[in-house]
Every structure is written in structure tokens, then in C-alpha cells.
A and B are shown apart, each in its own frame.
Chain A
Amino acid sequence: MRNRIFPLTRKEVLHILRDPRSLYLAIILPIILLILFGYAITFDVRHIPIGIVDEDNSFLSRELISRLEGSEYFDLLYIMSPSTEFEKLLDEGKVKVLLVIPKNFSRDIQQEKDTPLQLLIDGSDNNTAQIALGYTSGIILDFSSNILLERLDKQGALLKPGIPPIDIRPTVWYNSDLRSENFIVPGLIAVVMIILAAMSTSLTIAREWETGTMEQLISTPAKPLEIIIGKLLPYFFLGLIQISFVILIGTFIFKVPLRGNIFYLFCVSGVFLVCGSGIGLLISAATRSQQLAFMLSIIFTLLPSFILSGFIFPISSMPRIIQLFTYLVPAKYFLIIIRGIFLKGNGLATLWPETLSLVVLALILVLACSRRLKLSLE
């Protein structure tokens, strides 16, 4: 049998080259998206605006304030006298955390009484609120245990001063500085790649239906699978160029360590690209409208890759039924693989279940495209 895939691929390459604007876009867009989102999305909570009402104004209260002020997590914006309507600051969103040090704070501590401290937190962004609460509690707890130790010391207790009974010595593996870029950037690479792959192929079959060239193509002996593969190949290579750029940006601009095998990374990325292009082609074959296909391809890749892939929200905390859906999301597998290769230096020996799942998904998608195209000829 003569090879009909080559002329189909050649034609598709010509379409891409004839439209240089979309070609430039294909190269520039992933770079812009990665840089833009890479800097924008961060889970680190720093520089939380805090206000403090110091009703005590004593040595101890100032000591506590200076501890909060010295932390990089907080920006101390206001120190107020008790007479001001300090709640307004929280209402107006000028501070996220408001600490009220009551009168007699210092006296109560010295008299070894129960010493209350009021902490008001803006809970409208619950994630930030939780983290802010953790930071504030940590600092205050530390302050409190110091006082306790001093007290014991004064009483001549047996404990050596300054040494708490349990000493945690944490070691964080794979991302020792807990930089959120190391977590975010590989995930973003996955999301950006699948959206672009689906977007660019979503137009191709629909365009042939709209211009009528599909009718001509169907009258030739070309088989649906040949048409699908012929269309897939050029976008596959374009995708590999895109991924080279985003990997370079990830390692050199965001300084994400690439510890695993780069050849393996490219191979799996290729399979992932076939999944993305497959989704685009399937939508294109089903809708036969460029506009609709374009919109649907973004919806079907962007949202699942962000929400159902484990990129932002851990899959383990989703309800069981939703977890089942995540098995259909290619980004779920690719995220585990790309984070494994980048941060842990994993290879196929560890990542084979995810790699196999991705290959199976890619094959299913290509066959579904071919089947969908066949059905629509009849």
C-alpha cells in the first residue's frame, strides 16, 4: 500500500507555514503564559498586612510586637492606641490580621495569671487566613514558651533554660527550600502544553468541513486514521519545539532543578502532546465548526488540567466520585511524571504506571478520532 500519510502531513505543514502569525503565536504564547502564570501563581503567603492595638504599652508587649515585625510573613502597618475604631481596618481590608494586646498584659504575665490575647483574622480568603493564623500562633507560642522557660529558670527548676523538651529536626526532601516555583512550574508546563496542543488541532478538521475541502478528501482513498495521523504529526513536532522552550524557561528563569533524564521527559511529553492533540481533533471532528471547536477545546483542557489533575487541589481530598473522573484527565498522570522527573529524578522504573496510563489514553484518543471521523462520512 502506498503511503498517504506523507502528502497529508506535508499539506498540513504548508497550512501552518502559510499562516506565519499563528506560527509565531505557537512559539511565543507558551513562553508568555509560563512566565506570566509562573510569577502570578504562588502558594507562599508572605507580607500579610497586620495591625496591632497595644493597650498595654509595656516592655513585654513591645517585645511581642517586635517579633511579629521582624518576621518576613508580616508587614506591620498600624500600631494603634486603644481609642481608635480599629475594627474598621479589617472591614476595609487594610489589614488581614489584627492583634489586640490587652491592658494588664504585662502585669498578668508577671503575676502568672491566665493571659488572654485577642486575634482577629479576615476569613474571607480562608486559605490565607489559615496560613496567617498558623504563622501568628507560631510566633506567639514561641514567645509564650520563652516566658515559661524563664519562669522555670527563676524557680530554679531542673530544666536547662532555653531548651524545650522535644526538639523537631525537619528535613524536607526534593524541594528543601519549599519553593513553590518548584511545584508550580512543572504543573504549569503541563497545563500550557495541553491547552496549546488541543487549541491548535481543534481548528484543523473543522476548517476542512467549513471550506468544503473535507468532502473532497472523503472522496479520495485516504482512510480516517491516515487523515488523523497526517494532521497529528506536524502539531506533534510543533509541540516538541514548544516544550523545549518551556523546559528551558522552567530551568533557567524559574530555577526549577531538572534532576531526571531529559530524554525520558521528552518521550513522555510527546505522548502527552498526542493526548492534547487527540482531544482537539476529536472535538474538531465532532463539532465541524471552528469557533465551537476552539472554545470547547479550551474548556475541555484548561479546567480539568487545573482542577482535576492534582495541580492545585490534592486529588486525595476530593470526594470519591470526583476522584473517578480524574482518571480520565491526561494531566493527572503527566503531572506526577513531570514532577517526578524534575524534582525527584525519577525514571521509568518508578513512573511506569503513570506512563503506561498516558500511552493508553493517547491510543484511545487517536482511535476515537479516527472512529468519529469515519462515522461522520456516512
Chain B
Amino acid sequence: MQSIEVRNLTKQFGEFTAVDRISFGVKKGEIFGFLGPNGAGKSTTIRMLCGILRPTSGSGMVGGFSLSSQAEETKKIIGYMSQRFTLYQDLTVEENIDFHGGIHGLSPSEKKERKEWVLKMAGLKGREHSLTRELAGGWKQRLSLGCAILHRPQILFLDEPTASVDPVSRRDFWNLIYHLSEEGTTVFVTSHYMDEVERCHRLAIIFLGKIIADGSPRELKIKLTGKEESTLEEVFLSAIQKGKTGEK
């Protein structure tokens, strides 16, 4: 079953085409990596899928709801973690969790249970009353993730989730993503860390608004460099090289 399915999705900002007729599908429970250099259109794509930006043209279904006409329904079943830290810094850990629980309409008992779970997952037990701005990077990161999955979304969108996190936190973070995927959550993640996207089930490489390659990490290695043992970095660079010549 497809969780996400897009056809010729396009976003233009004035004359500039940020995302140019991309098409792909993501299966339920899959971890789908969206790889590309800065400015390639990763965040714009993720924002369209979350219903934050309206596509200029093209169509898409997220969790069975149409992007163009049922964005409000989509918002109920997704979780979104933006590239920027978007929790309220002047609120405490607990107040941020309560706010997200409230806005997603969790019942009081669900709220209590999920709050416990998030505090444990993020290692923030005992720090419920700390102001969010006083937390260190890794903790902020896990709290953000916790708030994004508080309402058990069917599909989770993560925009460069580990950009400012140390390697240990990053490993913990990915363990959690795997766990969510095993439970059936679809995860759509953008990144430009090669070691990170290596762990994805499937990858798409986006460059200048276009998808220039997609497949499993192994398939991509064979397809683009001809060797299974090459690194993803080599795959990425070779894809971009091909993308550039394709432009000309």
C-alpha cells in the first residue's frame, strides 16, 4: 500500500522553479530518504507534502488524502519536524508537550501516557520544568521529535533532523526511527549526511528541483557507479555530475 504518491509535483516561486515535476511513491512503513544539496528543493517538497505550501501544479496523495483538496485531513495524520527548531523556547518542556497534545486533540489519558513516553524517549525525565531554551542541542532535537510523534502520526516528515546533533545522539535518533518504521509509521526524511541516508530503505536524489535518481542504496550504487562497495558519497557526486551534464 502506498502511503505517499505524487505525480508531476511542481512549485514555482515567481520565475523560479523550486521543484520541477517530481513523481515518486513511498510504501507504508518505509523509510524514504530524500537526498540533495542545499537549495535542491528538499524543504519545498516536504512543505508541500505537509500541506504548508500549496503546489503550483501536479497532484499528490498523502495517507489517502489529496494534497490539493484535503490538506486539512492530511494534517491530522502526519507529524512534521522542521529544519528549524520550532518549539516555544520560553515554554517549559512539559508545556510544549501539553501544547502539542492539546492541538492534536489527544484525550487527557492519552496525553498523560504519551507525555510519559516522550519524556522517557528524550531522556528528559526530571527536566519537565526546564525552559526549552536552556536545553542542549540533542535534547531539543529529541523533544522536537517527541512533539512531532506525540499523536502517533501515520506518516512522519523529518526535514534534516540531525543537522545540529552529535554522533551519539544521531545514532539514538536513528534507532528510534527504525523502531517507528517497524511499528508501521512511514518516515520521509531529508538529509545530506551520507552515512545517515545509507540506513534508508529507499532513496531519491534531488538536484535543481528534479529527481535525478532513485532506488535502494544498493541499487543506486550499482546503477550509478557500477560497484556495490562504493560509498554513497561517490554515488551522490556521480548522480549530480550526470544531473549537471543533463542540464546542458
Contact = CB atoms under 8 A, between A and B. Distances in A.
23 contacts: A4-B103, A4-B105, A7-B99, A7-B102, A10-B98, A10-B102, A11-B95, A18-B90, A211-B86, A211-B89, A212-B82, A212-B84, A212-B86, A215-B47, A215-B84, A219-B50, A219-B52, A219-B78, A221-B76, A221-B105, A222-B103, A223-B72, A378-B53
A18 B90 CA distance: 7
A222 B100 CA distance: 11
Contacts of A377: 52
Contact of B52 (A7, A14, A218): A218
B85 interface: yes
Contact of B103 (A7, A14, A212): A7
B78 A212 contact: no
Contact of B51 (A11, A18, A216, A219): A219
Interface in A1-31: 2, 4, 6-8, 10-11, 14-15, 18-19
B54 interface: yes
B52 A11 contact: no
- Interface size band for B: 20 to 34
Q: Tell me whether chain A's interface is mostly helix, strand or loop, or mixed.
A: helix
A316 interface: no
Interface of B: 47, 50-54, 72, 75-76, 78, 80, 82, 84-91, 95, 98-105
Contact of A15 (B54, B82, B86, B88): B88
A124 interface: no
Contacts of B80: 216, 219
Contact of A4 (B86, B91, B102): B102
Contacts of B82: 212, 215-216, 219
Contacts of A213: 86-88
Best-buried of A11, A212, A219 by chain B (most CB within 10 Å)? A219
- Interface size band for A: 20 to 34
Contacts of A217: 103
A102 B119 CA distance: 95
Best-buried of B80, B85, B91, B105 by chain A (most CB within 10 Å)? B105
A218 B46 CA distance: 13
A212 B89 CA distance: 11
A220 interface: yes
B91 to A, nearest CB: 6
A217 B51 CA distance: 11
A219 to B, nearest CB: 4
Interface string A72-97: 00000000000000000000000000
Contacts of B102: 4, 6-8, 10
A11 B91 contact: yes
Contacts of B98: 7, 10
Contact of A221 (B47, B86, B104): B104
B10 to A, nearest CB: 15
